[in-house]
Structure 1
Amino acid sequence: MNIYAIGDLHLSNAQPKAMDIFGEHWKNHFEKISADWRERVAGEDVVLIPGDISWAMKLEDARPDLDAICSLPGKKIMIKGNHDYWWGSLAKVNAMLHNDTYILQNNCLAVGKWVFCGTRGWTLPQDSSFGGNDLKIYEREKIRLQLSLESAKKYPDYEKIVMMHFPPIYQNMKNTEFAQILEREGAAEVVFGHLHGDILKNINLTDVKTGGVNYNLVSADYLDFKLKRIR
């Protein structure tokens, strides 16, 4: 059993959005991801998708995007990103999923010898763009991360692998409150996305280990639209 990750799929099957407006490398991006996925992922493997799954605004419009993901091999586990406006209640989203596809929301999922946790996260207070409206969301996401990790305590012998959409650390911001929670709760691996474009040229946030936790940036364009093997 292998564990892979790739974030920020940004699908738009219901109302197609040309992703190459973000760069020529985004042209036919999901075809590239799917081809790599089908070649490498077996039925017992796990693929983590840390948010920004679909551009849809309504849950029903996200159905073809979710179906596209569900059709791929392996166990798929997803969390919400900041662009996943279609995301409804846990029950409503779960009702659309099939073929070993799952979401995390204040809970965890055990597979093999691992237990998977996660939450969206938010902009870090140390970021210059952090404003007054961000504080309430940030505090709520800390609680959600803690709830997910608390739920994993019923699997005391399992390794914890955590998904977040927003980076829980940054190049010169490694002792964040998110990082403190992850370290305290014994996370082994963390995968996250959200970062795109020119910013990727100036950062190194893949395979960063701090506080005993390994952090992996898995934005689709950062990975050249190929899955990253985590374990």
Structure 2
Amino acid sequence: MNVYAIGDLHLSNAQPKAMDIFGEHWKNHFEKISADWKARVTEEDMVLIPGDISWAMKLEDARPDLDAICRLPGKKVMIKGNHDFWWGSMAKVNAMLHNDTHILQNNCIEAGKYVVCGTRGWTLPQDGGFSENDRKIYEREKIRLKLSLDAAKRFPEKEKIVMMHFPPIYQHMRDTDFARIIEEEHVSEVVFGHLHGDILKTVHLTDVREKNVNYNLVSADYLDFKLKKIR
């Protein structure tokens, strides 16, 4: 089993949104992703999608975007991003998924020799403008990450991979609460997205190894719309 990752798909099949307003490189971006995916991923492989899946505001409007992902080969595992406003209850989202497609929400997904955990994450307290409301969400996300990792203790022999949408570290912020939780649970790989645009010219967070954990930035545009092989 190979493990791949790509985040921030930003699909909009129900109400098409021209993504090239964010740059010419976004034109037909899902066609690029799909072509690379189909060329490399087999049904025995797993693909991790760390959030910002669809621009839809309602769950029913996200259906064609979810269907497009479900139809792709391999085992698909997704988490919620900050733009996934369509995301409803776990039961309602799961009812729309098929073809070995799964979501993470206070749980874990095991496949082969791996167990995948994760949560959305949030802005870090070290960032400027961190508010009291941010603090509440941040603390809740720490709890959700712990719950997911606790669920993985049922599979002690499996290698742990964590998915987050927001970066758990930045190049100048390595000692974070999220990082400490990840290190304490002996996670081997972390994948995350969220970062786009000009910040990608200065950020250096792909293939970062910190305290025996590999951190992988997998935003679709950062990867030039090609999946990154994690394992």
- Identify the TM-score tier after normalising by the shorter chain: over 0.9
Aligned counterpart, 2:216: 216
Give the letter aligned to residue 181 of structure 1: I
Aligned counterpart, 1:75: 75
Provide the C-alpha distance between the structure 1 equivalents of 2:106 and 2:66, rounded to a whole number of angstroms.
20
Q: Map 1:20-35; keep pairs closer than 5 Å.
A: 20-35=20-35
Q: Deviations over 1:89-134 (max 9, x none)?
A: 0000000000010001000011000000010000000011322220
Provide the C-alpha distance between the structure 2 equivalents of 1:149 and 1:185, rounded to a whole number of angstroms.
7
Give the letter aligned to residue 153 of structure 1: K
Give the letter aligned to residue 125 of structure 1: P
Structure 1 residues without counterparts, runs of 5 or longer: none
Q: Answer yes or no: is 1:134 the counterpart of 2:131.
A: no
Provide the C-alpha distance between the structure 1 equivalents of 2:142 and 2:16, rounded to a whole number of angstroms.
34
Deviation beyond 3 Å, 4+ runs, structure 1: none
Aligned counterpart, 1:172: 172
Q: Map 1:6-21; keep pairs closer than 5 Å.
A: 6-21=6-21
Secondary structure of the corresponding residue to residue 77 of structure 1: strand
Q: Map 1:150-169; keep pairs closer than 5 Å.
A: 150-169=150-169
Q: Deviations over 1:19-55 (max 9, x none)?
A: 0000000000000000000000000000000000000
Aligned counterpart, 1:113: 113
Aligned counterpart, 1:199: 199
Provide the C-alpha distance between the structure 2 equivalents of 1:151 and 1:128, rounded to a whole number of angstroms.
33
Given the two structures, how large is their TM-score scaled by the length of structure 2?
A: 0.99
Q: Map 1:62-101; keep pairs closer than 5 Å.
A: 62-101=62-101
Secondary structure of the corresponding residue to residue 96 of structure 2: coil
Give the letter aligned to residue 37 of structure 1: W
Give the letter aligned to residue 65 of structure 2: D
Provide the C-alpha distance between the structure 1 equivalents of 2:208 and 2:183, rounded to a whole number of angstroms.
14
Secondary structure of the corresponding residue to residue 95 of structure 1: helix
Secondary structure of the corresponding residue to residue 187 of structure 1: coil
Provide the C-alpha distance between the structure 2 equivalents of 1:82 and 1:216, rounded to a whole number of angstroms.
19
Secondary structure of the corresponding residue to residue 33 of structure 2: helix
Q: Answer yes or no: is 1:49 the counterpart of 2:49.
A: yes
Provide the C-alpha distance between the structure 2 equivalents of 1:138 and 1:152, rounded to a whole number of angstroms.
22
Given the two structures, how large is their TM-score scaled by the length of structure 1?
A: 0.99
Provide the C-alpha distance between the structure 1 equivalents of 2:116 and 2:145, rounded to a whole number of angstroms.
12
Q: Deviations over 1:59-97 (max 9, x none)?
A: 000000000000000000000000000000000000000
Deviation of 1:211 (Å) = 1.5
Q: How many residues align?
A: 231
Percent identity of paired positions between Structure 1 and Structure 2: 80
Give the letter aligned to residue 158 of structure 1: K
Secondary structure of the corresponding residue to residue 209 of structure 2: strand
Give the letter aligned to residue 171 of structure 2: Q
Provide the C-alpha distance between the structure 2 equivalents of 1:191 and 1:120, rounded to a whole number of angstroms.
11
Give the letter aligned to residue 230 of structure 1: I
Provide the C-alpha distance between the structure 2 equivalents of 1:49 and 1:203, rounded to a whole number of angstroms.
20
